[in-house]
């Protein structure tokens, strides 16, 4: 009995890479690339619309990076496996991706046949990590163990830990702007704003835009005076 077709969504901001990857995957009879996306907002819409079996996700995307978009993508397509395919060899990106629910982490230097094999393993429920990243995975895991020495973490204002784009959006929230108005002001997609707002609330450990607006007002009051 033939293996079922794997419906794949490719997410990468480089058009030529998306096209090349799509052509490469199309050589495998079992694989069907059902769509692609160039940023997190497009990926969220396409994932919800297409409900792919597997999402190949780059980390370095414009606006919201792949790791930060992972939770929203998994909500949009709950049955999809998400496999990172990136140039980043940073162990922090690796650890963050796996914590966010990625089923694997591959580098773009991977050979075509190895990529196909990794996708098949991911669809069988295996976790797949690039061989070059194995040592970094162990280091990242050990650093999270109880009793492991942790680097000192100065207590900063949580708002200062937001990215510049997130701080821009938080300022707009404090003004009472809606997602649509923020998207128009910053010239970005409304879905991208929605993802940023989710991340802002999570990072600030808040549950509503009202709470975020109050915190922002307190944080920026001296500068506004």
- pLDDT computed for residue 214 by the predictor: 72
- pLDDT computed for residue 223 by the predictor: 43
Q: Please give the DSSP secondary-structure letter assigned to residue 214.
A: H
Q: Which two tokens stand for residue 93?
A: 């990106």
For 186, half-sphere exposure in the C-beta direction (CA atoms, 13 angstrom radius) is 26
- pLDDT computed for residue 136 by the predictor: 67
pLDDT digits (tens, 9 = 90+) for 32-84: 999 999 999 999 999 999 999 999 999 988 888 888 889 889 999 999 999 99
Architecture of domain 6-143: 3-Layer(aba) Sandwich (3.40)
Residue 176 neighbours by CB distance under 10 Å: 10
Percentage of residues of the chain with pLDDT beyond 70: 87
20 sits in which H/E element: helix 15-25
Domain at 158-219, CATH from 1.10.10.10, 3.20.20.140, 3.60.15.10, 3.50.30.10: 1.10.10.10
- Map residue 37 onto helix, strand or coil: strand
Residue 55 forms beta bridges with which residues? 9, 82
pLDDT digits (tens, 9 = 90+) for 173-184: 888 888 899 999
Q: Please give the DSSP secondary-structure letter assigned to residue 152.
A: -
Distance from C-alpha of 88 to C-alpha of 59, rounded to nearest angstrom: 8
**Tokens 């419906």 found at:** 7
Number of H helices and E strands in the chain, helices first, is 10, 6
What's the pTM?
Answer: 0.65
Question: Is 25:33 a contact under the CB 8 Å cutoff?
Answer: yes
Q: Outline which parts of the chain fall under CATH 3.40.50.2300.
A: 6-143
DSSP 70-136: HHHHHHHSTT-EEEEEES---HHHHHHHHHTT-SEEEETT--HHHHHHHHHHHHTT--EE-GGGHHH
Q: Outline which parts of the chain fall under CATH 1.10.10.10.
A: 158-219
Q: Which two tokens stand for residue 172?
A: 């707009």
pLDDT digits (tens, 9 = 90+) for 99-122: 888 998 999 989 889 999 999 999
Q: Tell me the mean pLDDT in the region 149-163.
A: 65
Distance from C-alpha of 119 to C-alpha of 158, rounded to nearest angstrom: 38
Band of residue 219 on the pLDDT scale cut at 50, 70, 90? confident
């Amino acid at each position: 009995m033939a293996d079922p077709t794997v419906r794949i969504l490719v997410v990468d901001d480089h058009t030529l890479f998306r096209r090349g990857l799509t052509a490469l995957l199309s050589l495998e009879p079992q694989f069907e690339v059902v769509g692609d996306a160039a940023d997190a907002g497009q990926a969220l819409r396409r994932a919800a619309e297409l409900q792919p079996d597997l999402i190949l996700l780059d980390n370095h995307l414009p606006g919201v990076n792949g790791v930060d978009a992972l939770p929203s993508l998994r909500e949009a397509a709950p049955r999809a496996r998400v496999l990172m395919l990136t140039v980043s060899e940073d162990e922090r990106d690796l650890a963050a991706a796996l914590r966010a629910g990625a089923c694997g982490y591959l580098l773009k230097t991977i050979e075509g046949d190895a990529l196909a094999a990794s996708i098949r393993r991911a669809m069988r429920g295996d976790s797949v990590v690039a061989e070059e990243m194995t040592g970094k995975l162990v280091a990242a895991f050990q650093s999270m163990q109880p009793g492991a020495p942790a680097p000192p973490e100065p207590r900063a204002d949580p708002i200062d830990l937001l990215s510049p784009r997130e701080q821009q959006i938080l300022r707009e929230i404090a003004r009472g702007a809606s997602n649509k108005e923020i998207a128009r002001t910053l010239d970005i997609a409304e879905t991208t704003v929605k993802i940023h707002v989710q991340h802002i609330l999570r990072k600030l450990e808040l549950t509503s835009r009202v709470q975020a607006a109050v915190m922002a007002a307190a944080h920026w009051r001296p500068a506004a005076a």
